[in-house]
Structure 1
Amino acid sequence: MTRTCVAVFATGLLALSLGACAYNESLGRSQFLIVDDSALIQQSNAAWAETLKTQKVSANVAQNERVRRVGGRVVQAAGLAGRSWDYAVFEDASPNAFVLPSGQIGVTTGLLKLVQNDDQLAAVLGHEVGHVVARHAAERYSTQTTTGVFLGAVQSRAGDYAQAVGALGGMGAQVGLLLPFSRSHELEADRLGVDYLAAAGYKPSESIALWRVMAQQRQSGTPEFASTHPSDQTRITALQQYIASRGWN
């Protein structure tokens, strides 16, 4: 059992009987999972349908076709072309993208305006596909659920101090476990995304260029220790090291 699994098991003693460690070959590590990907499909499909209804979808044919074309190449490179994928461009000035475990990718018009070429768009889409391959949604759900069960049990035994224990315990779990885990997921998705964009014929170095552009336009001053995402410089450095290790320019 890996240290990651041991740590999560120790945090979620009450959920030991429900949990299991599964080895993810793409990540080269074991994952603590108490749900299967299939358990998230129905919720993901419902979330996608709701997003399509509540958010404005771009009617720009060229933009939508571009995302489908680049996304199709990346999905093919990731070995996931055998499943159904849906893509949508949403009218939103904020540069953003997201993926759902059921195979849907959303991209904002703000992101399409920001990326300078298809290679950078492939870096974004490769990153999102990486989350699916890595089963990050199921792992994140498992970690949060197990942590919540454990903290609830501790709080129930805290008597008059229950509220304080709940607040401090939740903060400790958020900063000490859940947020760093999310940052780790992001870096893993970055790495997998580079693999896929390279296999799809795009330039790996453009993933670094993308994050430099993102760093220039970012307004947030949230320190990395309190953020669900790594800092731009952390991502850039990690990508530079990984791309160099693969011998890519």
Structure 2
Amino acid sequence: MKRTKTKVLAAVAVGALTVSSLGACAYNETLGRNQLLIVDDASLIQQADVAWAEALRTQPISRDAALNQRVRRIGDRIVQAAGLTNRSWDYAVFVSDSPNAFVLPSGKIGVTTGLLALVRNDDQLAAVLGHEVGHVVGRHAAERYSSTALTSVGLQIAQGASGDYGQAVGSIGGLAAQYGVLLPYSRRDELEADRLGVDYLAAAGFRPTEAVALWRLMAAQRQAAAPEFASTHPSDATRIAELERYIASRGW
């Protein structure tokens, strides 16, 4: 998760990934669309785990037992609702005033103390964690890496990342700068993760409407935002409108 929400941070550290067969197209039933996936999942997960271990070693981590237990408790409920209990999940609270969150494709979720100070209830935190889990279900990291590799942009694009995305990554120590490629999710990815996140938080017994309340909070605390056409993320107004539409369509 990152400028777009507390995701507000989406940092994916994927170094030296092994490319399998070029042009591999896979149908993602959850998303209802085909995805171009040429990245070796084992390599993706291995590099993500390396980045996670290094972040835990080098970045300030909150030792507040209550904060960590809260994130784990809610995260585990979301993971169960998403049907992803077949993998090992880990959570960490990074000490940073910037309200952000991120997920690595190996099932590692980081949130900042700034985010936990911003959300007003467990439902809003569940919306954040649901969004992050949605990125994993959507295989967005692998898809972004694959599309970047095929268009031969790669590290140059990553190193050229600017604005609040780069600042958000900096708030947790620049995982991608140390371990590979920084790949911001697309607007489509973000909106897909929003919808999946709402599904998971509802299935886990949280209030879906609090996802909208969360984004209103995020919009209010942001002093400035790049215009949507200049950003890889949807504007707050677009995100809120899409969430409201989707929640209404589900009768929530």
In the superposition, the TM-score normalised over structure 1's length comes to 0.80
1:213 aligns with 2:217: yes
CA distance in 2, matches of 1:236, 1:221: 15
Matches of residues 54-69 of structure 1 in structure 2 within 5 Å?
54-69=58-73
Q: Which whole-Å CA distance do the structure 1 matches of 2:129 and 2:64 have between them?
A: 19
In structure 1, the gaps of 5 or more residues are: 1-14, 152-165, 171-178
Distance in 2 between the 1:180 and 1:239 partners? 21
The offset of 1:181, in angstroms, is 6.5
Name the residue aligned to 2:10.
none
Give the TM-score of the pair, scaled to structure 2.
Answer: 0.79
Q: Could you tell me which of 181, 187, 190 is aligned with 1:183?
A: 187
2:91 is equivalent to residue 87 of structure 1: yes
Which of 189, 203, 206 is 2:207 aligned to?
203
Equivalent in the alignment of 1:21 = 25
Question: 1:99 — aligned with what?
Answer: 103
Counterpart residue type for residue 40 of structure 2? D
CA distance in 2, matches of 1:198, 1:37: 29
Give the Å deviation of 1:64.
Answer: 0.3
Q: Identify the match of residue 192 of structure 1 among 188, 192, 196.
A: 196
1:146 aligns with 2:150: yes
Distance 2:74 2:140 in 1: 22
Higher relative contact order (CA 8 A, sep 6+): 2
Which letter maps to 1:183? R
Larger radius of gyration: 1
Structure 2 segments unaligned to the other structure (5+ residues):
1-18, 161-182
CA RMSD after TM alignment: 2.3
4+ runs of 1 displaced by more than 3 Å? Answer: none
Partner of 2:39, secondary structure, is: coil
CA offsets, 1:210-248, max 9 Å, x none? Answer: 000000001233111111211111100000010011111
Amino acid at match of 1:39: S
- Matched with 1:43 is 47
- Other structure's SS at 1:122 match: helix
Which letter maps to 2:216? R
Corresponding residue for residue 232 of structure 1: 236
Tell me if structure 2 keeps the 8 A contact 1:37–1:135.
no
Q: 2-side partners of 1:32 and 1:217: how far apart?
A: 36
Instruction: Give the match's secondary structure for 2:151.
Output: helix
% of aligned pairs identical?
73
3-state DSSP of counterpart to 1:148: coil
Aligned twin of 2:167: none
Residue matched to 1:241: 245
Checking the alignment, whether the CA contact within 8 Å between 2:141 and 2:185 is kept in structure 1 is no
Name the aligned partner's letter for residue 233 of structure 2.
H
Between the aligned partners of 1:181 and 1:124, the Cα distance in structure 2 is 15
